[in-house]
Every structure is written in structure tokens, then in C-alpha cells.
Structure 1
Amino acid sequence: MRTTRAAAAGAVTVSLLTALTACGGGSPMGGGGSNASPKTLTYWASNQGASIEVDKKVLQPELAKFAKQTGIKVNLEVIPWSDLLNRILTATTSGQGPDVLNIGNTWSASLQATGALLPWDAKNFDKIGGKDRFVDSALGSTGAQGQDPTAVPLYSMSYALYYNKKMFADAGISKPPATWDELIADGKKLTKDGKWGLGIEGSNPSENVHHAFVFAKQHGTDFFTADGKPDFTNDGAVAGVKQFVDLMAKDKIAAPGNAEYAQNQSVSDFATGKTAMLLWQSATANLKSQGMSEDTYGVAPVPVQSGTPGTGTQTNSMVAGINLAVFKNTDNLDGALKFVKFMTSDGEQKILNEAYSSIPPVKTAQADPAFNTPADKVLKDTLAKSAAPMPQVADESQFETAVGTAVKDLLADAAAGRPVTTDSVKAALEKAQQQMPAK
């Protein structure tokens, strides 16, 4: 999920989420739903572009095209990431929501547990062309294993390392770093004259938890046990979080002020030459909107410990993206399914993913030459070979908030010059685990 997307998934109150899960996973939305006319649909879209107005310019022509084809008018609301999850959760409990909506794919299992979303069984998948149209990595972030998904992939993204070509050349660096040791060494060469080696969005819990997840994977572990129980203080998780925070605390290649960044400031710093490297999801459209030409920066895989990305301990991204879901209580199920089929059609997948510099999760659309730029190749290769889905457990959203906030607090310590030790990292993660719902 993300970019202006970035203010994202973590920005939700734990109390609301806990209340939701405490209801036994919730019950299906009852009553008449939000829409009494078979000729209209209400669609909540996530803010994917540089602004809500940009999203409207992208989406309105496509919604008009759908209306012309089907006679069904789509009422669009683009919702900021800071509000989206709370809006969805309120809708699941009140029964007053849209017919179709975007969700961050990391929320899939949590929202599935509410019982409010339409399950995508074989019958429903057949109505949009079949489940096998979608790439496996995207399907892996659509709900809990062993259950019918309650969302369909719409946009796929992954993290990559963006680097400023001129700043690298001026520092005598000939290629992007492949290992973290190389990144730190390069970052130290680039941190000078008021400029910094790496940008971090330290006050954004969503960004933080994504990095924490990836670093833990690279240390051979996860934040949950095989049976879905929180395990935030295992040695690998602690080591992974400390390694990430140390980019500011010990290695000092990220500016202390980055600990306060939460709204794309690290992207702006990279676009304006204040930092030389950026770890970000599918950043091309965001950088372009800020006036950065594609020929001024390179895109490489996120470093791993060994230098060769792959599965397991060489994971270098979470499977990022946006899914499309339907509220089970819609009064226009037929229209909603037609809309999902339209949005995931090859033609629309090309238009929408080009607009957002994301990758189509539909196999045939992903193969289109339009998605063969150097940046796209890195993202596609990462998604195919070295990205892992965030934990598909019912408490995933609480995990994002709790761990993302713990990392935010640790980065604040680093920025203030307070020591960040293995013990302090473990204590922060233990506090985060205590915030998880009791079972």
C-alpha cells in the first residue's frame, strides 16, 4: 500500500481495532446497505496519487467509461490513507458503507475477520474471469490461508532502492549497494555538506513496520509463530529492528530530523537532492510529480545481507499493493461484480497502473511492454522472487500499529541522542506485543 499512500495502515487506533476483534470477528453487515439503486455504485478509492485531485483526474474518465458500457453510475470518494482504515472499520460495524472499496493489501486478513466483505469463492472469481488471471504473489495478500479471499488484487507494488546518479558519481560510487554493509559505506561517503546518505520516514508507523518486517525476514524470523501467535521479541526480530534503527542511531547516514517525517517528506528530500538514497514503494509517479526526471536517478533492489535477493532470508520487500473488495451487504452485487471485472480487465489495468507507476497484478496486463521500464523490471523481479506477504493473520492491523509505533519511538530516541541498544529494542517490542488483543 501507499505513497501518499504512505501515511497509511498504521494510522488507526488500537482501541477501535481491539473492539472489532473482540466481537468474535464481527458479523455480516445487515440491512439495506448503502445503495438502493441498481443503476449506481458507491466506490471508496484510496489516495494513490500525489493528491486527491490527481486521483479524481485518473479515475473519473474510467468510471465514465464504465457507466457508458453498463449504464451504472459510480459515485466516487477518494479517501486519504490517514482516514481510510477507520472509515472502513466504522462501515463494517454500522452497515453504512460503500459497495466497492480499496483496501491496503496488508489489511486483508484483518478485514476478512470482520465478516463484512464478500468472499471471493470460485463462483465469484469466475464472474471476473477466474482466479488464475492474477499473479501468485498478489493473491498471497488477499486474506488468511485456507479461506476464500475477501479481496481481489488491483495494484501491485514493492520496495526498491532509489539512488541519485549525480550524487553517486560525485562521491566516486560506481554502482548501487547490494548489501547493507555497502549501503552504509556509501551512505557515509554521501553524508556531507548538509546532505545525507539515506532518507527515512521515521514518524510513519506504516513505513516503519514494513521495514521491520523485511529486516526480521533477513534475520531468518517473523513477528508471528506458525500458528499465528505474536512473537515480537525473538532474537531475529530484535536484531532486524535494531539494524534498521541503527541506520540513524549508529551508522548516522539518515538525518535525525527524519524521525519526524510522516507525510512523504523523505521523498521530497530525495527529489530535491537533500538525500542520495531512498527506500520506497513504486516511487516513480511520486518523484515525477515533484519534478524529478527519471534519468536523474537509478532503481535497484533493496539490499540484503548476502547481496543476492531471493526467498527466505534474502527477502527484500513486503508484497505491497492495493486490493479491491465488495461489501457483502451491497444492494447491487451484480453491478459491484461488473465493476471489479472492469477494473481488473487488461485495458484498465494498463491505464491505472501506468498512472500510479505500480505493477498490474493481472498476468496478461503485467506482460504488456509498457511495464518493462528499468524501474518496472526491478519491481516485477522483486515481486516474483524476493518479496513476502505481510502476516495474513486477523490481528495484522494491530501489529502494524503497535510495531510501527515502537520503531517510531526508537527512531525518536536515536534522533535525540539517547542510546538504542538490544535491550531497549527488545523492551519496545515487548511493550508492542502487550498491546495485541488477548486470545
Structure 2
Amino acid sequence: MNIKKVVIGVVVVAVVGGGFVALNHTANNDSSSSSKTVSFWYGGDGDTDIKPIIKDFTKQTGIKVKIQSVPWSQYNDKLLTAAASKSGPDLMVMGTTSVPNFVSSNSLMDISSVIKKDKNLQSNQFFKGNVETTKVNGKYYGVPWYTETRVLYYRKDLLQKVGYNEPPKNWDELYDAANKLSQRGGKDTYGFSIDQSEPTFGFMMARQNGATLLEKNGETDFNQKPMVETMSYLQKFVKNGVSPKEDLKLSIGESFGNKGLLPMFVSGPWMVKSIEQDSGLKDNQWGIAQLPAGKYNNMSNTGGGDLAVFKYTSHKTEAIKLMKFLSTRENQIKYYKNSNSLPARTDAWNDKSLQNTKVQVIKKQLNSSQPMPLIKQWDQIGQNYVKAWEKISVENADPQKTMNTFNDQTNKNLNTSK
């Protein structure tokens, strides 16, 4: 899932045998359920960031909102259970790669007519990549709420010491700079971190090298030259000790801060606050940049969260009102100030709170960013990729043979899931 924060709403649950059992779902036509109360599912460890905005909504509309915050590690399974029982939240946040899966299970409401009638919700209000995550077969099943993409984090001071006054601009410079950085100290000093558990990383890099990933006719190109070359390029980092083979499980202060054992890495906007608070670095010691370009582009991955209405809600009108309220420019800015989750609305970026230099770099990268292919099988494909990359990086497996196997596995998955 390409979502790192967000939402959830209301249903009282009991834990039975390690699982959740719904006791009073608001989607049911229960006589005790008020038509002026909606449930909102919000992925994360708490609802502090969203509560003030919800209070404003209740004050303006008289509609009460019950917020249920669910950890992201449990969120998808909980939604699947709700979808199977046709009983769940009225409004929810969806991960950008999850929408096709829940559309296929007939769980999300087609809101195309709602969007068509409301200029505030139409696609020209949002980043193109985020709008793409809300559509399946030309119909809209969500509205972009917050956005994220991947950028390069780097230690300015350490790069300068190896001859780079600016961050690397392309793949050749990235490897050269990382290699020089890795030679500063002992065996535990590296130049660039490749996230071993991030399922989008290799696909994102392959797009920079000309890969399409998934053709319109459904054919995959994971064993073709652009993807295999990318895997070989990344393998070189690990093979030559420029990147660690496995997660070192260090804090941001231990890895990026101090002596900079991992002085360059790729991640999302949530890392800005973490570095500011926990790295021990001064502002002039580090920076963020758009991704170094491959042969064709510097394409990044669009992630974030979308607002979607549960198809079986008995509070459709109220849920749509809440969706519209959260989608306004004013409230996307408020949510950013509370949570650091970047607005999916492009006009929100004119606000003075988003004029920080580092945040503006992220905005530029968003204009060169695409979501992963929007198919219901993509989350499973991503997990299979992580296993393939482990073979290449840790076991030093041949990239071509490994990607042949991965490509066959993917096609089998796609064909059996139709």
C-alpha cells in the first residue's frame, strides 16, 4: 500500500479469537442508528489530526461523525471483512493501490455523477496521478485527499566532501556519488539505501529506464530489457558494498544523522518531519531533490489516500457531504498543518504553509509521478517483487533468470484472477 497515514470510522468492535467482530455497523438499517451520524474509517494510530476538522463539519451541518482509527497493518483486512459482510463504514480512506481491489469486490460506490455535478471535486482540481488512482474502467470511486511521492534525501555536507555540490542528477551520478560516499569509512559505511521491503521501488526505477510494467492488453514486461537492466543496476549497489544487503534497522539519527552511515535514500514526504525532529542535523546539512533520471525520465511513484463511500451505506447523503467537506481547499490545508499529509488539491499549494523549499521540491516531483498500475492484483504482485529482489540482492541471483520467473508468476496470477 502506498499510504502511510490516515483514516477510519465507526463501528463498535469486539476482539474474538484474535479477530474483529462487528457489533453495530452503521451501514445496517438499525433502528437505533441516527440518520444524522456517519462513520469514518481512518488508517493510523490515532485521530488527533482529523478531529478538529470533523468538529467543524458537525458544527456546520449538525451531522455527527464517529471516527475509528485502525492501524494500517490491519486496515486492509478489516475492510475486506466489511466488504464481505456488506457492513462497514459510511466513508473511508483508501490506499491508492487498493481502490481496484475493492471495486472488484463491489464494495465502493460509483460517485461519477457526484463528481460531474460538483466543480470542487472534478479532476482538474487535483494532481493528475492522484486522480488516476480513483478511477476504474472510466468510473470514479473516490476523491483524492492527500498525496505523496518519492524523492531523494541526501546529506549536503557529506556529498560536498566527495565532490558533489549538488545532488546527483542521473543514474550514473547517483552510483558514482554513492560509491564515493561508501568509501569514507569502514565496512559499515554506505552511500545509498535501497529499501528492501518497498514493493514500488524497482518498478519506479524501471519506468525511468523505459519500462511500461503493464501494457493496455494486459501483457507484462518484467523480463524485458528495461526492467532487467534496472535490476542489474540496483544489484551493482549491493554487490559492490555501496548499499547494504539487508535492513540495518537503524534509527534516522543513526543512519542519516551523525556520521551518515546511509547518507542518501529515497522515501516520501513523511520523512521531512522525522529528520527535523530525530536526526540531530542542522537544516543546512541535508536536503531533498527530485529523483535522479534514468535513460528516459525521473518518474516517481504517486501514493496517498483517497476518500471513498461504502456502497452499502444507509447514510449516503451524509457520507457524501463529509467527503465534499474534507475535499475543500481550506480543509486539505488544515489537514496538512495537523498531519504533514500533503494536499491532493493543486490550488492548496498556493498557501504560505506550503512554500517551504523542501516541500516545493516534492511538488515538482509530483508533476513527474505516476501511480502503480491500477489493477486488483497489484498488491500481491508487489509482494512477489520484494521476494524476487531479495534473491537478486541477498543471494546474488541472476537478474534475467529471476525476472523471467517473476514475470511468469505474475502472468499466472493475472490469468487466474480474471
Whether TM-score is above 0.5 comes out as yes
Q: Residues of 2 paired with 1:254 and 1:388: CA distance?
A: 26
Residue aligning to 2:361? 378
Specify which of 326, 334, 337 is matched with residue 343 of structure 1. 326
Is 1:39 aligned with 2:46? Answer: no
Matched residue, 1:16: none
Residue in structure 1 matched with residue 242 of structure 2 by the alignment: 253
Cross-structure match for 1:352: 335
The TM-score normalised by the length of structure 1 is: 0.80
- In structure 2, relative to structure 1, the CA distance for the partners of 1:280 and 1:147 (3 Å cut) is same
Contact 1:88 1:97 in 2 (8 A): yes
Contact 2:121 2:324 (8 Å CA) reproduced: no
Structure 2: any 5+ residue segments left out of the alignment?
7-25
Aligned residues with identical type, % of pairs: 23
Q: Secondary structure at the match of 1:216?
A: helix
* 2:229 equivalent to 1:239: yes
Q: 1:429 to 1:104 in 2, by over 3 A?
A: same
Task: Encode CA deviations 1:226-269: one digit per residue, 9 max, x unaligned.
Answer: 223444323322222333343223x43212232x76xx967972
Alpha-carbon distance, 1:300 to partner: 0.6
1:86-101 superposed matches below 5 A:
86-101=77-92
Conserved? CA contact 1:113–1:394, under 8 Å: yes
Q: Give me the whole-angstrom Cα distance separating, in 1, the residues matched to 2:303 and 2:163.
A: 33
Give the equivalent residue in structure 1 for 2:262: 275
Superposed CA RMSD: 2.9
Normalising by structure 2, we get a TM-score of 0.84
CA distance in 2, matches of 1:102, 1:377: 25
Q: Distance in 1 between matches of 2:245 and 2:380?
A: 27
User: CA 1:267/1:396 → structure 2, altered by over 3 Å: closer, same or farther?
Assistant: farther
Q: Distance in 2 between matches of 1:33 and 1:391?
A: 39
Q: Provide the residue aligned with 1:155 in structure 2.
A: 146
Q: Which runs of 5+ in 1 are unaligned?
A: 7-28, 307-312
Q: 1:395 aligns with which of 374, 377, 401?
A: 377
Farther off after superposition, 118-127 or 214-223? 118-127
Q: Which residue of 1 aligns with 2:215?
A: 225
**Counterpart amino acid of residue 98 in structure 1:** P
Q: How does 1:298-313 map to 2 (within 5 A)?
A: 298-306=287-295, 313=296
The partner residue of 2:276 within 267, 288, 298 is 288
**Equivalent runs, 1:42-191 vs 2, <5 Å:** 42-47=39-44, 52-53=45-46, 56-124=47-115, 126-127=117-118, 129-131=120-122, 132-144=124-136, 146-191=137-182
Would the alpha carbon gap of residues 323 and 286 (structure 1) be closer, same or farther in structure 2, given more than 3 Å must change? farther
1:163–1:176: 8 Å Cα contact kept in structure 2?
A: yes
Deviations along 1:310-366, one digit per CA (max 9) or x if unpaired, are: xxx314201121111110111211111111111111111112123443432213212
Q: Secondary structure at the match of 1:45?
A: strand
User: Do the aligned partners of 2:246 and 2:394 also contact (CA within 8 Å) in 1?
Assistant: no
Residue type of the alignment partner of 2:133: S
Q: Contact conserved, 1:199 with 1:266, CA < 8 A, in 2?
A: no
CA contact (8 A) 1:190 1:197 kept: yes
SS at match of 2:319: helix
Q: Which structure's CA Rg is the greater one?
A: 2
Which one-letter code corresponds to 1:277 in the other structure? M
Can you list the C-alpha shifts for 1:183-219, whole angstroms capped at 9, x where unaligned? 11111111132332112321x2xx2x31222222122
Q: 2:305 aligns with which of 312, 315, 322?
A: 322
Aligned twin of 1:363: 346
Code of the aligned partner of 2:134: T
User: Cα gap change, 1:98/1:232 in structure 2, threshold over 3 Å: closer, same or farther?
Assistant: same
Deviations 1:70-113 (A, max 9, x none): 22222222222222222222221122221111111122222222
| Whole-Å separation in 2 of the counterparts to 1:220 and 1:253 | 24
Matched residue type, 1:361? A
Residues 362 and 68 of structure 1: CA distance in aligned 2, closer, same or farther (over 3 Å) = same
Deviation at 1:281, TM superposition (A): 1.2
How far residue 31 of structure 1 moved from its aligned partner, in angstroms, is 5.7
Q: C-alpha distance in 2, partners of 1:377/1:200?
A: 24
